[in-house]
Amino acid sequence: MKRFYPLFFLLISVFAFSQVDEKKLDDLIQNTLKTFDVPGMSVGIIKDGKLIYAKGFGVASLTTKKPMDENTLVGIASNSKGFTVTALAMLADEGKLNWDDKVSKYIPEFKMYDAYPSQEVTIKDLVTHRAGLGLGAGDLMFFPEGGPFTVEDIINKVKYLKPTYSFRDGMEYNNIMFIVAGEVIHRVSGMEWADFIEQKIMKPVGMTSSFGSYNRAKNVTNKIDAHAPINGKAVQVPHDWNETANAAGGIMSNIKDMTTWADFLMNGFTTKDGKKLVSDKQIQQIWEIQRPISVALKNPYDTHFYGYGMGWFLSDVKGHFQVQHTGGLIGTVTQFTLIPDMKLGIVVLTNQQSGAAFNTITNTIKDSYLGLKDRNWLKTYSDRMQNYNAKIEKGKQEVFAKSAAFAKTDLEPKDSQFVGTYKDKWFGDVEIKKEGNIYRFLPKNSPHLVGTLLPYSENTFIVKLDNQSYDADEFIIFNFDENGNATSAKIKPLSDVTDFSFDFQDLDLQKVK
């Protein structure tokens, strides 16, 4: 589900004295906000059980101008997955489930596209991204928000999602399986996922300001608004989250609570009053690579291994074990990093969708504690993003220029050839409708993905979305029969910048009328 110049120098004394030079870190964060057009950011560092740094910068909202601080709530998105896995581990310790239990034991109606994995998918498969589904497959059932699908609907529609690799023979990041894992927690514990997270984890850990879902935080005033770049400038956009996907990314939290969470994890999943919520046996499995991921031979941290455990990305950095995850929603991204043997935790929460911003901060802080000289991550990521954005913009301009040129020909299909209703087995109906002199793309179950069709070639249109903050325009390619009438259509993103949760490529639209 969901982009410089050095004005600072973070002293190596950070490594020696376990504290940051606040002024220079403050300056770095301020310049990072400016460089990547991020309205607000909060940053926390916990070291040896002590909160070294906890501050907010910029504004929580461009509309209200309310300052961002360490207590401002942010949707942590996929950093919620670590909570889902912790909940499962607690249930395993209680003897209520095992990681190798078949999902069908708890959700009998659960089925996948093929018969074999339908019976063999385990709880561990759900939380390790190895069940065979492609990157973000099925995310359009909850992303963007506003659709009608319930958790039960999603579970019943998994069987229509075609795998992209053999069962347990690869890894592609997937949210849908975590939604299924959340339902396992519900059926085993008898509690709603958000209730379990709040009562069984957040409360004993001491996360007093956090919520298991966005809707539960609606009455809180100190929280961010989301922001996304449109035409090169960050603007406020609606906060986007669907409650059906809470187990994959629904938590709202802040720096104060997330550093408390970091301390809990690094202290053996033990609360401040000495209560161990998860056994060492379970921790070993959670923080053990279940699916390896290739890593470049030359990389900034001399990393030799990288992979996914259960709910966490795991690697080595300069000889130290690192536990990390990121999270992204429309208009916000977050990063959570632990180096357990150093008792170091770094948390960065933002209200814009620039991963370059959180990487700049995390890497600079991490380098300081690792004893590395200043590597000017601000300039590195700024240069990289300028080059990337220029390439993306050039590609878009070329596509729309081709569309404008083709529109001047008489080769565009006639409306009688392709206007009508198309159905995908898991996504539902999409209507292609003529309104005046334009054609409209109208998905029944995703009201925010409406757009206008622009001719591109004899069988292809661009769908230019009404909501340009998504940056998710797409191609729709029609298949015509021998009489020149459309029988089906496929969709794919127009640009590489489109978030993987817009999994248009997984749709198989068949014309029904």
Same domain, 305 and 440: no
Specify if 4 maps to a domain.
Answer: no
* Residue type, position 28, single letter: L
Same domain, 349 and 482: no
Specify if 99 maps to a domain.
Answer: yes
Residues 367-378 pLDDT 10s: 999 999 889 999
Examine the pLDDT at 231 and tell me if it is beyond 90.
no
Residue 79 lies in domain? 13-375
Lowest-confidence segment of 1-5, 114-118, 402-406, 407-411 by average pLDDT:
1-5
Specify if 387 maps to a domain.
Answer: no
Confidence class of residue 1 from pLDDT cuts 50, 70 and 90?
Answer: very low
* C-alpha to C-alpha distance for 12 and 139, rounded to whole angstroms: 43
What's the CATH code of the domain at 287?
3.40.710.10
Same domain, 368 and 410: no
Confidence class of residue 13 from pLDDT cuts 50, 70 and 90?
Answer: very low
Q: How many domains does the chain have?
A: 2
Percent of the chain with pLDDT over 90: 91
Same domain, 404 and 356: no
Same domain, 281 and 323: yes
- Residue 171's nearest CA partner among 103, 208, 109, 125 is 125
Specify if 454 maps to a domain.
Answer: yes
Same domain, 340 and 454: no
Examine the pLDDT at 172 and tell me if it is beyond 60.
yes
Q: Contact at 8 Å (CB) between 20 and 52?
A: yes
* Residue type, position 513, single letter: K
Same domain, 362 and 406: no
Same domain, 142 and 265: yes
Arithmetic mean of pLDDT over the chain: 93
Q: Contact at 8 Å (CB) between 361 and 29?
A: yes
Examine the pLDDT at 16 and tell me if it is beyond 70.
no
Specify if 8 maps to a domain.
Answer: no
Prediction pTM value: 0.93
Same domain, 306 and 450: no
Same domain, 427 and 341: no
* C-alpha to C-alpha distance for 432 and 418, rounded to whole angstroms: 8
Examine the pLDDT at 480 and tell me if it is beyond 80.
yes
Specify if 469 maps to a domain.
Answer: yes
Specify the pLDDT at position 174: 95
Question: Which single residue is written with the structure tokens 């927690």?
Answer: 185
Examine the pLDDT at 4 and tell me if it is beyond 50.
no
Same domain, 334 and 418: no
Specify if 391 maps to a domain.
Answer: no
Same domain, 353 and 444: no
Percent of the chain with pLDDT over 70: 96
Examine the pLDDT at 131 and tell me if it is beyond 50.
yes
* C-alpha to C-alpha distance for 463 and 477, rounded to whole angstroms: 10
Specify the pLDDT at position 14: 34
- Average pLDDT (452-472) is 95
Specify the pLDDT at position 22: 87
Specify if 390 maps to a domain.
Answer: no
Q: Is the dihedral of CA 496, 128, 195, 157 positive or negative?
A: positive
Residues 27-63 pLDDT 10s: 999 999 999 999 999 999 999 999 999 999 999 999 9
Buried b (16+ CB within 10 A) or exposed e, 89-100: bbbbeeeebebe
Specify the pLDDT at position 19: 57
